[in-house]
Amino acid sequence: MRLLRALIAAATALAVTAFAAPSFAADDPGPAAYAKALNGKRVMLVPLAMGFDLAQGWAHYLKKEVEAWGGTFETRDPNWVVDAGAQAITDAIASDTRPDVLIIHAPDLNSYSKLMKKAQAAGTYVLLVDNPANFPADAFVGSDWDKLGQLEAEAAIKGCGENSSKKIGLVQGDQANSSSLYQYAGIMKVLEKHPDFQVVAKPDSNWDATTSRNVTTTMLQQHPDICSIIDFWDGDATGASAAIRDAKLDGKVFLVTTGGGEKAADCDKLNDGTYGAVVMTDLARQSGDMNAIIKFLLQSGQPAGTSHTYIYTLEKATTKADLKPDSCWDLKALQAEAAAK
């Protein structure tokens, strides 16, 4: 009996190898070409800083993928200092281990343009992430900030409702960062179509929570009947929310902001009512887009700077009502996963 079973098993194995193997593995040129193009390639991420949710999320997903195809993944941490970022990029281009792909999170429209040109001239593909810049990179992956502003404005209008004061306050970032400028443009586009809604104040927070709190406090005192505030980043919207709380206007002022969709930063705060709506970036998908374009560029054989692709991430305004368990990603979980390795 045992012999019979062994015989059958052997016959099956034979049959599988005899019929299946030759028709697949030997003919598919994909994996070999893939490995040849990607193996040993270097990818470097230079974000504004490594200390905040977006950068840590990107780094997590990119590292996982790059290392899986046999590449090297590195990050540099300029810690919000533009000069330090420029230095990091300069060093990277000049070093013996020049990265094949440089992913740059630009602080403003112009600062790194010359350096990115240099990188491309040296043969490094340049990807811009999140913040657009005045430079024809090989690819831009990130938000269409104008569209994002429109989504925020629509969420604010909806949050206010028809029977409200129809007064909206803005807490802008600054007057240099493209994400702030385009967001503003997008918001204004929507508000033009709703002439009954008006922006009563539009101070800058300089991306600082304390400043955001102070300007929002003043704004609410000047216009206590504001029905919605749009703060341009969840990193400083904690300040605007503190001002609303202090003015005892919780639930009366609909706070809209935007962020990377991290659980503690966004979903938890939607859940407890701090934020009315958050236009969230799907970070895993955005990182996936970056991974795909990196793989494409490395296999394309085209010189750096040949093509210019824009890959805008799908954005959506999320409110408490449409919050799902997977609406956010959890930085703590990713860190625990990284620590466990």
Partner 1 sequence: MNATGRPNWRRLNQEGIVFAIAILLFAAAALGLPGFLTADNLVAIVRSVSVLGILALGMAVVIIGRGIDLSAVAIMAMSVAWYLQLLNTGTSDGLAFAYVIAGVLAIGLLNGFLVAYADVPAIFVTLATGSFVFGYVRSQLITQDAVPVPQGHWVELLGGVRFLDIPIEVFVFAGLAFLVFLFLRYTKWGRFIYFAGDNPVAARNIGIPVRPMLVLRYALSAVVALIAGLLTAASLHSINTRVVNSTLLYDIVLVAVIGGIGLSGGRGGVRNVLVGAALIGILLNAMTIIDIPLLYQNLIKAAILLGAIIVDGIINPRDEQTAQQGDI
> Which residue ranges make up the site for partner 1 (CB under 8 A)?
49, 51-53, 56, 79-81, 174-175, 201-204, 206-210, 213-215, 217-219, 221-222, 235-236, 238-239, 242, 245-246, 264-265, 331, 335
Q: In whole angstroms, how close is the CB of 48 to partner 1 at the nearest point?
A: 10
List residues bridging with 201 in a β-sheet.
169
CB nearer partner 1, residue 42 or residue 76: 76
**Rounded distance between C-alpha atoms, residue 266 and residue 30, angstroms:** 41
CB nearer partner 1, residue 142 or residue 169: 169
3-state helix, strand, coil in the chain (%, to 5): 50, 15, 35
Q: In whole angstroms, how close is the CB of 284 to partner 1 at the nearest point?
A: 19
CB nearer partner 1, residue 52 or residue 254: 52
CB nearer partner 1, residue 238 or residue 291: 238
What does DSSP say about strands 315-319 and 277-281: parallel, antiparallel, or unpaired? antiparallel
Q: In whole angstroms, how close is the CB of 238 to partner 1 at the nearest point?
A: 5
Q: Which two tokens stand for residue 214?
A: 């102070």
Q: In whole angstroms, how close is the CB of 212 to partner 1 at the nearest point?
A: 9
Task: Give the list of residues 6+ apart from residue 152 with CB closer than 8 angstroms, or none.
Answer: 183, 186, 187, 230, 256, 257, 258, 277, 279, 317
**Rounded distance between C-alpha atoms, residue 28 and residue 219, angstroms:** 64
Task: Give the list of residues 6+ apart from residue 315 with CB closer than 8 angstroms, or none.
Answer: 143, 144, 147, 148, 151, 279, 280, 281, 282
Q: In whole angstroms, how close is the CB of 276 to partner 1 at the nearest point?
A: 17
Q: In whole angstroms, how close is the CB of 131 to partner 1 at the nearest point?
A: 16
CB nearer partner 1, residue 56 or residue 75: 56
- Give the number of other CB atoms < 10 A from CB of residue 261: 27
CB nearer partner 1, residue 71 or residue 173: 173
